[in-house]
Amino acid sequence: MTTEHKKVTVDLGEQQELLEERMASGRYASPSEVIQEAMQALDREDALIEEKILEAMETEGEPLENVSSEPGDPKTGP
C-alpha cells in the first residue's frame, strides 16, 4: 500500500510560535517533522482514550459488539 503525499497549507495561529520554538531547539529539521510527530502523538492519545472507554464499558457490562473503533461509525458517533 502506497501513501500519497500531499502538501497542505495550515494556519497555526498562536501555535506557530510553538512550532518555531520546537524547530529552534534543533530536534526538528522542518515544520513537516513537527506536524508529523504531533499527528503521531494524537493517534497515540486517541488509542489510549478508546482503550479507556472500552475498559469502562466492560466494567459496566456493555457488550463489546456495540462498540466500533471506526471514526464516524453509527455505533460510536462522529
Using one digit for the tens of pLDDT, what is the confidence trace for 42-59?
A: 999 999 999 998 888 888
If one counts the domains in the chain, the total is 1
Q: What is the pTM of this model?
A: 0.63
- Domain containing 36: what range? 16-66
Tell me the CA distances in angstroms from 47 to 10, 23, 37, 70, one per residue in order. Answer: 25, 27, 15, 11
In this structure, is residue 8 part of a structural domain? no
Per-residue pLDDT of the chain (78 residues; tens, 9 = 90+): 677 888 889 899 999 999 999 999 999 999 999 999 999 999 999 999 999 988 888 887 655 565 555 665 555 545
Q: Is residue 11 part of a domain?
A: no
The confidence score (pLDDT) of residue 70 equals 62
Residue 38 falls inside a structural domain: yes
Does 9 fall in a domain?
A: no
* Residues in contact with 72: Cβ distance below 8 Å, sequence separation at least 6, in sequence order: 78
Residue whose C-alpha is closest to residue 63's, from 51, 72, 73, 54: 54
